[in-house]
Every structure is written in structure tokens, then in C-alpha cells.
Amino acid sequence: MNSSCRITKQLLLRNQSLTGFKRCFSNRPTSHKLSSSFLGNSYSPTPLAKSPVVTAWSAKNIIWTSQRNYSMSFEEAVKNSTSMKDPDNSTKLKMYALYKQATTGKPTGKRPGAMDFVGRAKYDAWNGLGDMSQEEAKKQYIELVQSGLGDSAGGGGASAGQSSSSDSSADGLDITVADGIRTIRLNRPDKKNALTHAMYRGILNSLKEANDDANTRVIVITGTGDYFCSGNDLGNFANVTDPMKMAKDGRDLLMEYVDAYIYCKKPLVGILNGPAVGISVTVLGLFDAVFTTDKATFTSPFSALGQSPEGCASYTFPRIMGYAKASELLYFNQKITAAEAEKLGLVTQVIPHDRLEAEAWKRVRDIAQLPLKSLVYSKDLVRGRERELLHQVNVAECDRLQERWTSEDCMNAIMKFFSKKSKV
């Protein structure tokens, strides 16, 4: 699903395009698995001592010199790769490509077909190494793992100081209810708060729960780190053995997610701590108030990714800002500043970054002191008559996206994205 198109959990290796890759990995012990979203465990193979490549080396009686020590360092890096903390998609592609180049050399098979865009992205990353020697590939693999282990050891500080009294949670979310305020905090700062399937589910469940929760008077969605949300985790598109099923499941999840905003009874407030992309922009038309840092920008690059609008933005944006400006955002891929968003009516107020927390949260606390029934009834009078219409808009948008996600336009755009990231 989009919106900047973000994608999750364990890629199933393809029988046709990656047979050799599967053969190398078939005896991998479970203790070497790495939990991640795009390439899953595919770059964390069996220890080299058990691999066909090492057996071949031993059979040829390679001289036990510094090269032996180097290959042991490579084996150690392969083992240590399981300790890396949630490497991003481009890192996983690099690791896959370098491992294949280090152990088997240049690719010899055919490039996977257009429908297998993950297989193609992996093949292109490997093929992109060209004539790199196996020793150089090992060296770069080791450096990449060491860098990743260093990041893991020093990480975790971004969420320090956040409330630990979560009433419910999902990976990448902190959800708390206190003093009448339900806070849904996106908490994947290292991934710019890109949304995984689990996060979609966690947010929509919390919005539904809030409707009947007497302790919730106002709902706040905000983020941790430099970004409010970078849209979809493109790993959400990676677990594709059946593109048609992926598109249908994605449609159903997105429709339920947006419906949770449409049918939200309590005041819904956004506190945007940084840039917003894709789905995190399009649903803003369903919020009751949006306070944003002056550092925020807003973009929804649907056509660049072969996709189309969602979040009811095809209806709400023209009503908020007119067709000319809505088209710039929804299909001309234009980015706007926080000041422009305020002028267009997409956000309530722009606040200097260093004052955002204090001023926005004061506004939220003031809202939480208002009579609950008055808030609920007033929102229903303002938005209630359009809820069924918005639901129909949501259905139409999701139906179109289901078609788009299996289109050549979309697959080529995502392949291009992964190939570009793998070269960074």
C-alpha cells in the first residue's frame, strides 16, 4: 500500500529466480534469523563452514595465510549480521548483493520477470556490483556489518524520555491514555516513522477503541524524531509471492485504516513534529485540528510511484484548498512548506519548532477540559452527514489502488526505488 509507498516482514524466496540463493541458505539454523521487513533473513546465511563455497575452497587446499584469516572474518561477519538492529531495506539489498558476490561471483542466471519486482531488485543490486572481486565483496560486507553493529550499540536514545505507561502497543507505536488524552506516537525514528502493517493495525484499533473509551476525550497522533511520518514502509510490498493477494489484502487494510478516521467520534488532533509524506498527509483532511512545526513539509508522490490518492484526499483536498492546489499535491508530486499548508487550510497552525511541544500540547490539554458530550455531538454535527460519502470515497480510492499495486507502473517505480537505494 502506499503512500510513499512503505512494506513488511519476511520475504519468501522465489523458486525460479533465486534457486542458487536458496540452496546456499537451506541449512541455516534458526538462531541466525534476523527479524526485518524487506529482505527478511535472506542475507543471513548458513555459517560459511557449512556452505558449498567453503567446501570447494577446502577441496582446493587454499593456502592457510592471511586469506584464511580474512575468510574467517567474513564468516564472523555473517554470524554477527544477526545482531544488527532492524537494518533498512537498502542495507539489506547491499548485504544480499555483497554476500552473493563474495561467495559465488557475478550472477549467471536470468533477470527475474517484471512481476517479481523484489527478485528483480535483488538481482539488480547483485548485478550492479559488476566485476568486483570476491575479496573486495567480503571486505565491504564486513565493513557494512561492523557499521550496522555500531549503529545498534549506540541507538535507542531517540525514544528516551517518552512515557512508559503504554496502555496498548504495536511495534513502532507508543500508545498512552492519560488525563483524557489518548496519544498515538509513531516511534520508528530511525525509519522516519514509516508505517508497517502492524502500525496500521495498531493505529486503527486504537482509534476504534477510543470511540467507546470513557477515559479518552481527545486523540493526538504525533511522531518521534525528525519526521512525523515518511509514509509507507516499502517493505510492505516485499512479501509478495502472490501479487493479486497482496493487492487485495492491502486494499482491505487501507480501507479499514481510513474508515477508522472517518468514523472517529472524538476530536482528533495532529501534532506534526517534522515532514509528512503520503498517507500521513492525505488523512489530514479527516483531522479536527493540526498543529505543525515550521520545519515540516508535505508531499504525496503518488504518480511518481505509479499509484493514486488515498485517505479520502481525492474528496477532502479539493474542498479544503481547491482543485488547482489539490492536483499539485495529489498527482503533480509537488512538495509544500508548513506555511503554505497553513495558507491552504490543510493545517490549523504553524508553530516554531522549539515551541511546538509546549504550545501544541497546551492546546490539547485545553480541549481535554471541555465537556465530552459537547465535543462528540459537535463533531457529529460537523462531520456526521458526510461520513457515508467519505466511506464511499474511501472504497473507490482503495479499489483503484488495488489495481495500481499490480500495475507495471507501480512495480517499475518500486524496483527503481530499491535499485537506487541499493547504490547509495
Q: Where are the domains of the chain?
A: 19-156, 157-419
**Each residue's pLDDT tens digit, 217-266:** 999 999 999 999 999 987 766 666 788 888 999 999 999 999 999 999 99
Q: Map residue 420 onto helix, strand or coil.
A: helix
Indicate whether 424 pLDDT > 50.
no
Mean pLDDT of 196-204: 95
Listing DSSP states for 171-211 in one string gives: TTEEEEEETTEEEEEE--GGGTTPBPHHHHHHHHHHHHHHH
Kindly state the cell numbers that stand for 120. 528483480
Q: How far apart are CA 352 and CA 199, in angstroms?
A: 28
pLDDT category, 41, cuts 50, 70, 90?
A: very low
**Each residue's pLDDT tens digit, 157-177:** 333 333 334 445 678 999 999
Kindly state the cell numbers that stand for 87. 537494518
Indicate whether 5 pLDDT > 50.
no
205 or 241: which leads in pLDDT: 205
pLDDT of residue 419: 66
Q: Which residues pair with 232 in a beta bridge?
A: 195
pLDDT of residue 376: 97
- Weakest mean pLDDT among 228-237, 330-339, 402-411: 228-237
Mean pLDDT of 204-222: 97
CB atoms within 10 A of CB 256: 16
In the CATH scheme, what is the code of domain 157-419?
Answer: 3.90.226.10
224 or 49: which leads in pLDDT: 224
pLDDT category, 207, cuts 50, 70, 90?
A: very high
pTM value > 0.75:
no
| CATH fit for domain 19-156, picks 1.10.3720.10, 1.20.80.10, 3.90.79.10, 3.40.50.300 | 1.20.80.10
135 or 353: which leads in pLDDT: 353
209 or 131: which leads in pLDDT: 209
Mean pLDDT score across all residues of the chain: 80
Indicate whether 75 pLDDT > 70.
yes
pLDDT of residue 391: 98
30 or 189: which leads in pLDDT: 189
Q: How far apart are CA 340 and CA 298, in angstroms?
A: 9
CB atoms within 10 A of CB 8: 24
**Each residue's pLDDT tens digit, 87-99:** 776 788 788 889 9
Are 186 and 193 contacting, i.e. CB atoms less than 8 angstroms apart? yes
Are 222 and 228 contacting, i.e. CB atoms less than 8 angstroms apart? yes
Burial class of 134 by CB neighbour count within 10 A (0 to 12, 13 to 18, 19+): middle
Report the sign of the C-alpha dihedral through residues 332, 402, 118, 115, in that order. Answer: negative
Indicate whether 20 pLDDT > 90.
no
pLDDT category, 117, cuts 50, 70, 90?
A: low
Q: To the nearest whole percent, how much of the chain has pLDDT over 90?
A: 51
Mean pLDDT of 387-409: 95
Mean pLDDT of 258-287: 98
Q: Which residues pair with 424 in a beta bridge?
A: none
pLDDT of residue 36: 36
pLDDT of residue 237: 64
Q: Order the strands of the 297-299 sheet from edge to edge.
A: 276-277, 297-299, 336-337
